[in-house]
A and B are shown apart, each in its own frame.
Chain A
Amino acid sequence: MTAIFVLIIISLIVAVGFLVAFLWSVRNGQYKDSYTPSVRILFDNDKPSDNTHKS
C-alpha cells in the first residue's frame, strides 16, 4: 500500500501550494471587497472612446 504514501505526499504538496495561494490572495487584498467584482465583470463595453472631436 505504499502508493498511499505517494498519493498523500503529492496531495499535501498540492494542498500546501493552494494554502500559499490563499495567503497570497489575502495579503494582496483580493478579498477586501466581496461584492464589486461581481458587478464589474458585467461591464464588457470598455471600447476605446472615439473622442475624435477632442484633442
Chain B
Amino acid sequence: MNTNTEKFSYDNAIVRNFAIAVMLWGAVGMLVGVIAAIQMFAPHFSLGIPQTGFGRLRPLHTNAVIFAFVGNGIFMGVYYSLQRLMKARMFSDVLSRIHFWGWQLIIVAAAVTLLFGFTTGKEYAELEWPIDIAITLVWVVFGINMFGTIIKRRERHLYVAVWFYIATWITVAVLHIVNSLELPVSFLKSYPIYAGVQDALVQWWYGHNAVAFFLTTPYLGLMYYFLPKAANRPVYSYRLSIIHFWALIFIYIWAGPHHLLFTALPEWAQSLGMVFSLMLIAPSWGGMLNGLLTLRGAWDKVREEPVLKFLVVAVTAYGMATFEGPMLSIKSVNAISHYTDWTIAHVHVGALGWNGFLTFGILYWLVPKMWGTTLFSKKLANWHFWTGTMAILFYAIPMYWAGFTQSLMWKEFTPEGFLKYPNFLETVIRLVPMYQMRAAGGFLFLAGTFLMIYNLWKTAAQGRFIANEESEAPALVKNVVIHDHYWHRWIERRPIQMLVLSLIVILIGGIVEMIPTFMIKSNIPQIASVQPYTPLELQGRDIYVREGCYTCHSQMVRPFRSETERYGEYSKAGEFVYDHPFQWGSKRTGPDLHRLGGKYPDSWHYNHMFDPQSMSPGSLMPSYPWLFTQSINYASTPKKIKAMRTLGVPYAEGYENQANNDLDQQADKIVASLKSVEIEVKRDKEIIALIAYLQRLGTDIKKANPSTTAQNQ
C-alpha cells in the first residue's frame, strides 16, 4: 500500500445522535406549536396555570423549533457532510460529544426557564444570560471542531457548502454576542444594555440575521451537498453557486431594519433595510434555480424517490419565502402585513417548507445510508410527503386570509370618517375559524412527522448501524500548492493597502471598546416629560415581560390615521428611552397597548386580568389568576434600581434604599381605588404592580409641552 495513503473512519455516531435529537425536539417543538395554536381560539386551554399560558408556550415553540429542531438539523448535516467533504474525521470526538450534550442541555434549560417565566422579552433571544453564555461556549466548541477538521483536511478544495457553514458560524457568533449584551440583576434576570429604539434596532438586526444565518445559509450549504448527492448529479452550475454565496454574504447582513418599518426608527434607516431586502431577491433566487435546475432531466427520479420530493418542495418553499420576504419589506405592503397573521404565514412557509422538508429529506437519505440498509417503507414516506405538503397549505392559506381580513378591518373607515370596527374585539372574533383551520394544519404536519419517526425507526431496526465508516485518502502534500506570491508578500509589496487595512482594524477596534459607554450615553432623555418608571411600575413591567404579553400585544402606534384614531397619538422614539428591553412586539392578536395608560379604571384591569371574557366577551386572552396570589418580590427592587442606574436611567444615588417605600405608597393608591368599587386586594400582589405599569403606559407625553414632542428623536 502507498506510504502516503492514510486510513481513517468517518464518525457516524455523532451524526446519529443529532439525528435522534432532531426528531425528538422536532416533535416536541411542533407539539407545543399545536397546543399554542389551539389556545389561540380556545383560551381556556391554557388551564389557568402559569407554565401553560400562551405567553410562555409561544417563546418555547419558537425556540424549540429554531434552536432545537433546526439547530440539531444543522449539526446533523454539517457533521455528516463536512467529514466527507474534507475527507477527514471530525477534529475531536470529545468536542463532538461536548457539543452534542452541551446543546441538548441548553435546550432543556431553555424549555424549563421559559416555562417558568425567565425571559429577556426579546423575540428569538428570550433566553436569560446564563444560557446565553452556555450557548456561546458550545458554539465555540463547534467552531474549534469545524475549523480543526478543515485544517486537517485531505481535500484541497473547499466545496461551496463548507463556505456556507463557515459563514454561518462566524455570523451567528457575532449576532448572538452583540444582541445578548445584558446586565444581570440576579441569576436568571437581566436587563439589555440597549433601551427602546436602540434595543429594537439591535434586536431586529439580530432577528433578521438569525433567520438569514441560522435558518438559511447553513441549510443552503446542506442543499448544495445533499441535493446533488441524492440526485447523484453535479449541481447545475458550480460557478453560480460560488457567486450565490459571496453575493448573499455581502447583502444579507444589512437587511435587518425592515422589521421596523413605520416604527419610531429614523426614516432613512427604515428605507435602508427596505432597499437591501429587495436586493436579496437576486442571490436567493439564483440559489433556488441552481437547486431546481440540478434536477432537470431527472424528474422521473423525483417521481419515485421520496427524498427528492421533499428536497424539491423545500427548495420551492425557499424560493417563495425569499420572494415574499422582500415584498413584505416594501413599505406599502408592510403597512398592511405588519402585526397581522400574514407574517405568521410567511415564516411558516419558510419553517415548515424550507427547513422542515429539507430536514426530512436529509433524514430519509441519511438513516438508510448510516444503517447500511434501505428505507423501511417508501409508501409511508410518500404518505408523509403528502400530509406534510397538505399541512403547509392548510396552515398558510388560512393565515394569509386571516392577515388580509384583520388588516382590512383595522383600516376600514365609515363614510362619516369613523373606524368601521372601533372595537378591536370584532376583528379578532372574525379570525377564529381561520385559527381553527391553522391548528388542524399544524396537527397534520405533526402527524406526518410521527409517520417519519416510525418509518426511520423501523429502517434502523432492520439495518446495522455503521458507527465508523472506514475510508482512505492520501494526505494533502503541504507547500505544494503553488502560490505565485504569498499573502504577506502581496501585502508587503503594497504598503498603501497594508496601511488601509490596519487603519480599518484600529478604528474598528477602538470604537468597539466604546460600545457600552456609547449605549449608556445615548439613553439620556430626549423628551423632557418622559420620566423613569416608578419602582412599582418597574416591577409591573417585569411581570408584563415575564408573562410574554408582547407575543400578542404591540406597544408601537404607527403614524396611520387608522391607528391614531384607534389608539391615540403615534409613538415617538423618545418615549422608550427607559425601556430595557423594548416591548414593541411584532404581532397584534390583541390591541396595541402603548396608549393604554388611563384608558380604563384600575378595576377594569383587575377584572380583565382575572377573567378577560367578563370584561370583553369573546376575547381570546387567557386569564392570569396567579397574579392575584403571588406577591411582588420586594427584595429585587433595589437591585433593579441599581442596575437601571448603571444603564443610564437617572435614578438618584441611593434611591434604591427608599424605592420599596415609594412602591408601597403607589400600591396603596391603587388598592384604595379598587376598594372604592368593592374590590379587596393586598397591596403586595403582583396584579397591583401590573396595573400600575399598564396605567403608566404612554402617558408621559400627554404631560409634555408640544414644542418638545415635535421632534421625534
Measured CB to CB, the closest approach of chain B to A29, in angstroms, equals 6
Give A3 to B514 CA distance when docked, in angstroms.
Answer: 12
Query: Given known contacts A2-B521, A30-B157, A48-B472, is B234 in contact with A39 (CB within 8 Å)?
Result: yes
Measured CB to CB, the closest approach of chain B to A19, in angstroms, equals 9
Measured CB to CB, the closest approach of chain A to B548, in angstroms, equals 24
Query: Given known contacts A3-B522, A11-B254, A41-B229, is B490 in contact with A27 (CB within 8 Å)?
Result: yes
Measured CB to CB, the closest approach of chain B to A48, in angstroms, equals 5
Stretch at the interface among B68-76, B107-115, B245-253, B618-626: B245-253
Measured CB to CB, the closest approach of chain B to A16, in angstroms, equals 6
The reply to whether the CB of B38 lies closer than 8 angstroms to some CB of chain A is: no
Contact assessment for A31 and B242 in the assembled complex, using a CB-CB cutoff below 8 Å: yes
Q: B158-171: contact bitstring with A at CB < 8 Å (1 yes, 0 no)?
A: 11000000110011
Contact assessment for A38 and B253 in the assembled complex, using a CB-CB cutoff below 8 Å: no
Q: Which of A1-55 contact B (CB under 8 A)?
A: 1-7, 9-18, 21-25, 27-31, 33-35, 37-42, 44, 46-49, 51
A14 contacts across to B, CB distance below 8 A: 170-171, 174, 253
The reply to whether the CB of B7 lies closer than 8 angstroms to some CB of chain A is: yes
Contact assessment for B508 and A35 in the assembled complex, using a CB-CB cutoff below 8 Å: no
The reply to whether the CB of B178 lies closer than 8 angstroms to some CB of chain A is: yes
Measured CB to CB, the closest approach of chain B to A14, in angstroms, equals 6
Q: Which of B175-234 contact A (CB under 8 A)?
A: 178, 194, 197-199, 201-202, 205, 225, 228-229, 232-234
A30 contacts across to B, CB distance below 8 A: 157-158
Query: Given known contacts A1-B198, A10-B174, is B228 in contact with A42 (CB within 8 Å)?
Result: yes
A51 contacts across to B, CB distance below 8 A: 1
Query: Given known contacts A13-B508, A17-B170, A39-B234, is B481 in contact with A1 (CB within 8 Å)?
Result: no
Pick the contact of A46 from B170, B202, B472, B482 — CB < 8 Å? B472
A47 contacts across to B, CB distance below 8 A: 470-472
The closest CB in chain B to the CB of A12 belongs to: B508
B505 contacts across to A, CB distance below 8 A: 16
B194 contacts across to A, CB distance below 8 A: 3
Total interface residues on B, CB under 8 Å, equals 63
Contact assessment for A48 and B471 in the assembled complex, using a CB-CB cutoff below 8 Å: yes
The closest CB in chain B to the CB of A17 belongs to: B170
Pick the contact of A6 from B167, B504, B518 — CB < 8 Å? B518
Contact assessment for A46 and B85 in the assembled complex, using a CB-CB cutoff below 8 Å: no
The closest CB in chain B to the CB of A45 belongs to: B471
The reply to whether the CB of B235 lies closer than 8 angstroms to some CB of chain A is: yes
B482 contacts across to A, CB distance below 8 A: 29
Contact assessment for B178 and A18 in the assembled complex, using a CB-CB cutoff below 8 Å: no
Give A38 to B512 CA distance when docked, in angstroms.
Answer: 40
Contact assessment for B487 and A2 in the assembled complex, using a CB-CB cutoff below 8 Å: no
Contact assessment for A42 and B266 in the assembled complex, using a CB-CB cutoff below 8 Å: no
Contact assessment for A6 and B202 in the assembled complex, using a CB-CB cutoff below 8 Å: yes
Give A54 to B229 CA distance when docked, in angstroms.
Answer: 32
Contact assessment for A5 and B511 in the assembled complex, using a CB-CB cutoff below 8 Å: yes
Contact assessment for B225 and A4 in the assembled complex, using a CB-CB cutoff below 8 Å: no
Query: Given known contacts A7-B202, A34-B239, is B511 in contact with A1 (CB within 8 Å)?
Result: no
Give A1 to B523 CA distance when docked, in angstroms.
Answer: 9
Give A35 to B233 CA distance when docked, in angstroms.
Answer: 12
B508 contacts across to A, CB distance below 8 A: 9, 12-13, 16
Contact assessment for A6 and B178 in the assembled complex, using a CB-CB cutoff below 8 Å: yes
Measured CB to CB, the closest approach of chain A to B603, in angstroms, equals 40
B7 contacts across to A, CB distance below 8 A: 48
Give A1 to B269 CA distance when docked, in angstroms.
Answer: 10
Give A39 to B239 CA distance when docked, in angstroms.
Answer: 13
The closest CB in chain B to the CB of A11 belongs to: B253
Counting chain A CB atoms within 10 Å of each CB, the highest count among B225, B228, B234 belongs to B234
B241 contacts across to A, CB distance below 8 A: 38
Give A37 to B224 CA distance when docked, in angstroms.
Answer: 12
B515 contacts across to A, CB distance below 8 A: 6
Query: Given known contacts A3-B522, A13-B508, A51-B1, is B483 in contact with A27 (CB within 8 Å)?
Result: yes
Given A6-B511, A38-B234: 10 more A-B contacts, CB < 8 Å: A1-B269, A1-B522, A2-B519, A3-B519, A7-B202, A18-B249, A28-B481, A29-B481, A30-B157, A39-B234
Q: Which residues of B are in contact with A by a Cβ distance under 8 Å? A: 1, 7, 84-85, 87, 155, 157-159, 166-167, 170-171, 174, 178, 194, 197-199, 201-202, 205, 225, 228-229, 232-235, 238-239, 241-242, 246, 249-250, 253-254, 256, 266, 269, 470-473, 481-483, 486-487, 490, 501, 504-505, 508, 511-512, 515, 518-519, 521-522, 713
Q: Which residues of A are in contact with B by a Cβ distance under 8 Å? A: 1-7, 9-18, 21-25, 27-31, 33-35, 37-42, 44, 46-49, 51
Q: List 16 A-B contacts (CB under 8 A).
A: A1-B197, A1-B198, A2-B522, A6-B202, A9-B508, A10-B174, A12-B508, A13-B512, A16-B501, A18-B250, A38-B241, A40-B155, A44-B84, A46-B471, A46-B472, A47-B470
